[in-house]
Amino acid sequence: MLRIIQKRNIFFILSGTLVLVSIAAFIVWGLKLSIDFTGGSLSEISFIKDRPNVAEVRELLVSQKLNNTDEAVIQPAGSNELIIRTKTLTEDEHQQLVNVLKDNYGQENVVENRFESIGPVIGQELQNKAIVAVIIVLALIITYIAFTFRKVSKPMASWKYGLAATIALVHDVTIITGAFVLLGHYLNIEVGLLFVTALLTLLGYSVNDTIVVFDRIRENLIYRPKETFAETVNQSANETIARSINTSLTALLVLLALYFLGGVTIKYFVLALILGIIFGTYSSIFVASALLVSWHEFSRRKR
């Protein structure tokens, strides 16, 4: 049997460090928001024959003095694509941009795969909507946990289970956000609506693992009345660890396939899900139940 609860300080230090680093990175650098939230335009261009290098294209745009493209961010993507991000372009400005590229690199060579243009108003709206959605999901899940554990009272009050599970969730979300702050800072990876979608999905998904562990604790508290609370919790975590890891593993297998084979557009959405499932499983086994025990012992000592 793994001595998970006994060694909980290791996990507290590990998690604490990751959370603090994430928060610090978030404060210093912040997330790189995509045009979903800031407004702006994105054009994904395929070069059938050969792709010009980024500096060359940037120079071309500067020399053409097109509207709104002076601060264009140009990134290579895939094997022969460039992604050009600019301020919000009108349809006319967009056509000018495409035509400049076609004139310089050949009508047949340049194909625009994708164009997105989002006005600042919509960006602001989506931002607000995303925040509201996160709050609603968190509230729903806390209510749900509280409801699920309403009948547990000894030796811990039911709301304490709820709070421990919620802390584990906040822990997961903070670390994933931290990871994307770093990705944004070092690799220019932006977070948009899909990132928020991933976060929300994870909130719903990874709370399950925690609930299963807690469920077992509840059950074992009845069947094993002689053990200490810490022993019962450790026993429960050990009993459920195989299924926690296995369920996450199956989800991870399909997500890894999607990450490597599923195309550029959803790559970082899938990455957020992958990170979320890894940390979600970790926190439900090593953090949530450990928190319960520490809390229990803390309040006993106080008495």
Positive or negative CA dihedral for 183, 25, 130, 121? Answer: negative
Quick check: 2 binds other proteins (CB under 8 A)?
Answer: no
Per DSSP, the residues of 257-285 read HHHHHS-STTHHHHHHHHHHHHHHHHIII
Quick check: 126 binds other proteins (CB under 8 A)?
Answer: yes
Quick check: 258 binds other proteins (CB under 8 A)?
Answer: yes
Quick check: 157 binds other proteins (CB under 8 A)?
Answer: no
Distance, CA of 274 to CA of 271 (rounded, Å): 5
Token readout for 229 is: 């609370």
Quick check: 117 binds other proteins (CB under 8 A)?
Answer: yes
Backbone dihedral region for residue 124 (phi beyond 0: left; psi -120 to 50: alpha; all else: beta): alpha
Quick check: 266 binds other proteins (CB under 8 A)?
Answer: yes
- Which residue from 297, 302, 158, 165 is spatially nearest to 231, judged by alpha carbons? 297
Quick check: 127 binds other proteins (CB under 8 A)?
Answer: no
**Shortest spacing between CB 291 and other proteins, in angstroms:** 19
**Shortest spacing between CB 43 and other proteins, in angstroms:** 9
**Do the Cβ atoms of 61 and 104 come closer than 8 Å?**
no
Q: Helices in 67-157 by DSSP H: which ranges?
A: 91-105, 120-148
Token readout for 154 is: 């000894």
Pairing assessment for the beta strands 40-47 and 110-118 based on DSSP bridges: antiparallel
Residues 49-108 interacting with other proteins (rule: CB under 8 A): 90-91, 94-95
Quick check: 255 binds other proteins (CB under 8 A)?
Answer: yes
**Of the ranges 7-15, 152-160, 190-198, 287-295, which one interacts with other proteins (CB under 8 A)?**
190-198
Please report, for residues 27, 102, 142, 176, 263, the alpha-carbon distance to residue 130 in angstroms, rounded to integers and kept in the order given.
20, 37, 18, 16, 25
Quick check: 271 binds other proteins (CB under 8 A)?
Answer: no
Quick check: 188 binds other proteins (CB under 8 A)?
Answer: no
Quick check: 194 binds other proteins (CB under 8 A)?
Answer: yes
Q: Which is nearer to other proteins, 231 or 239 (CB)?
A: 239
**What is the C-alpha end-to-end distance of the chain, expressed in Å?**
31
Quick check: 167 binds other proteins (CB under 8 A)?
Answer: no
Residues 129-148 interacting with other proteins (rule: CB under 8 A): 129-130, 132-133, 136-137, 140-141, 144, 148
Give the single-character DSSP code of 79: T
Quick check: 221 binds other proteins (CB under 8 A)?
Answer: no
Site residues for other proteins per CB under 8 A? 44, 46, 90-91, 94-95, 111-119, 121-122, 125-126, 129-130, 132-133, 136-137, 140-141, 144, 148, 193-194, 197, 200-201, 203-205, 207-209, 211-212, 215, 239, 242-243, 246-247, 249-258, 260-263, 265-266, 269-270, 273
